[in-house]
Chain A
Amino acid sequence: MPKTVNSLEFGVQSFRNNLKLFLPGGIIILLFAVSIIAPFLSIYDPNKIDLDSIKRPPGIDHPFGTDSKGRDMFARVVYGAKASIGVAVVAAFVSAFIGFFVGIVSGYFGGRLDTVLMSITDFILSFPSLLLAIAISVVLPPGIYTVMIAISVVSWTSFARLIRGHVLTVKDMPFVDAARAVGCGNLRILLLHIAPLCVPLGLVMMGIKMGGFVLTEATLSFLGLGAQPPAPTWGSMISANRAYILTEPWMVIFPGLAIFITAFCFNTTGESLKDRQEAMGNRL
């Protein structure tokens, strides 16, 4: 007699299986949500300078202490999540979109178009990526949009490569021939028959890349190429408070921990997504 699984047991089991995916994902969503509704919470204004309470160590009033201008570090770290996570998500969507488009067109049509598009991809891949991102941020006026553009320009290539490879295996499958026999045009086959099969791969790739995007954003704003002061970003907080590392280390430790936790959660989510794809037989 087959073992019956009641819905509760099944629920518990799938919850366990999904913990590695949803716990870190949930933490990121929570961080982002808190930074969005932060103005309505009763915490300090992140940019309010209070010269009476400079360099306070972490305590009840200021859980993360205050910086050299008396600004509350906790508020600044909370507000910083908006920039860091926001930039990573937007950059991931933009680079996935460009890479997806280039990948399916290049893989499907092949020939000279494929050669040209893949040469451009190889050209960008031959640059060391952080250096290229820095170069782009130097040319454009510094700010949050510049960081998004720099990350997207550097990283759409890995999406294009992946999607192109997948299209090459999919486009010779019988259902594509069937669609063509029925009289579907190229555009219809591409958009309705091939593209949907590539979407999951693209999403998984976004999950894998996002942790790196958080770090790149942090690095660029550490170098002063991201959002400009007094806007609170984790990278710029660390670079501004670097000088106080020996006497007031909390000014550097907490923003760094925030970056680390966010990147770690993104990387864990990305890895469990990747494991699932590989279990289904798609090598990433």
Chain B
Amino acid sequence: MLSLAGERAHPEIIENIKKEMGIDKGFIRQYAGYLKLLMHGNFGTSYYTNRDVLKDIAAKFPNTLALAFVATLIAVPAGVTLGFIAAYRKDGLIDKCVNAVSLAGLSIPVFWSAIMIMLLLSLKLKLFPPSGTGDIRFLVLPALALAIPAAATLARITRTTVADILKMPYINTAKAKGLSSLSISSVHVLKNAIIPIVTIIGLDFGSYLNGAVVTETIFGWDGLGRFTMEGIIKRDYPVILGCIITGTAVFVLVNLITDIAYHYLDPRIRLHAKDR
């Protein structure tokens, strides 16, 4: 409140702001007022910029979407390939290395790896611009930072799933038929392993979309995450609430799309649906 009006503001001005924001009313009436706004598809206006929160979110969402796509494009091939290699060499040296690397990838704090990536690739090697919003060159570094833990999770899930599938009798049948190992791994293994892999991709994609809060802030990428963070720092509640509501809605929506994708990817699920 004092940060809005200034520390030596006249009491009358403070009273006016309170009335404008409606915090002179009771808690229940404030909440009811917010719900009423939401019903009209309105997130209110920012305390600081007085701009429509929904419009700002809509303007920043495409940036976040682009970042999420690039991060997924990096994470999926890397993670799935590593997982496949590890599963085919189960308990061998390569498997142990992949395991250690993926555990390490899960243990790196994203905000730290982001700063380290920025230091190494941008400030020392000068390959990419350190921060800002713009074309694809600005996207590479934040996407890389986001992709590390995602690729690690994917590698682990792929490894366990593929290792389980390789033990199945139908793989032996396929080998006995004399199929090449390439066609076994692309047709028999990949098709059966796709469901857990798609689940993880969906979860990660959903969490990028509600704003990679930390990564976007560090790299100055003008997306939903940085918007959320600015709202949090300034205690700009309409912005925080708007971002969290949008983020959760998008997260749920992406999970729904993942569930629908199962239907197309796995004929067994289609058959079950027909039985009912």
**How distant is B237 from chain A, measured CB to nearest CB, in Å?**
9
Tell me if A227 is interfacial: C-beta within 8 Å of chain B: no
Number of interface residues of B (CB under 8 A): 33
Is B118 a contact of A245 with CB atoms below 8 Å? Answer: yes
Main secondary structure of the interface of B (DSSP, over half): helix
Is A219 a contact of B115 with CB atoms below 8 Å? Answer: no
Pick from B107, B235, B244: contact of A263, CB under 8 Å: B107
Pick from A126, A252, A266: contact of B248, CB under 8 Å: A126
Interface residues in B235-272 by Cβ distance below 8 A to A read 235, 240, 244, 247-248, 251-252, 255
Q: A135-B240, A138-B232 are in contact. Are A215 and B109 (CB under 8 A)?
A: yes
Interface residues of B (CB under 8 A from A): 103-104, 106-112, 115-116, 118-119, 123, 206-207, 210-211, 213-214, 218, 228-229, 232-233, 235, 240, 244, 247-248, 251-252, 255
Taken residue by residue from 122 to 138, chain A's Cβ proximity to chain B (1 for < 8 Å, 0 otherwise) reads as 00001110111011001
Tell me if A10 is interfacial: C-beta within 8 Å of chain B: no
B108 — which chain A residues lie within 8 A by C-beta?
A: 260, 263
Interface residues of A (CB under 8 A from B): 126-128, 130-132, 134-135, 138, 211, 215, 218-219, 222-225, 235, 238-239, 242, 245-246, 249, 252-253, 255-256, 259-260, 263-264, 266-268, 271
Is B252 a contact of A126 with CB atoms below 8 Å? Answer: yes
Pick from B106, B109, B119: contact of A219, CB under 8 Å: B109
Q: A128-B210, A222-B214, A246-B119 are in contact. Are A263 and B109 (CB under 8 A)?
A: yes
Is B110 a contact of A219 with CB atoms below 8 Å? Answer: yes
Is A256 a contact of B118 with CB atoms below 8 Å? Answer: no
How far is it, in angstroms, between the C-alpha of A127 and the C-alpha of B233 when the chains are bound? 21
Is B119 a contact of A245 with CB atoms below 8 Å? Answer: yes
**How distant is B246 from chain A, measured CB to nearest CB, in Å?**
10
Q: A128-B206, A211-B106, A267-B107 are in contact. Are A259 and B112 (CB under 8 A)?
A: yes
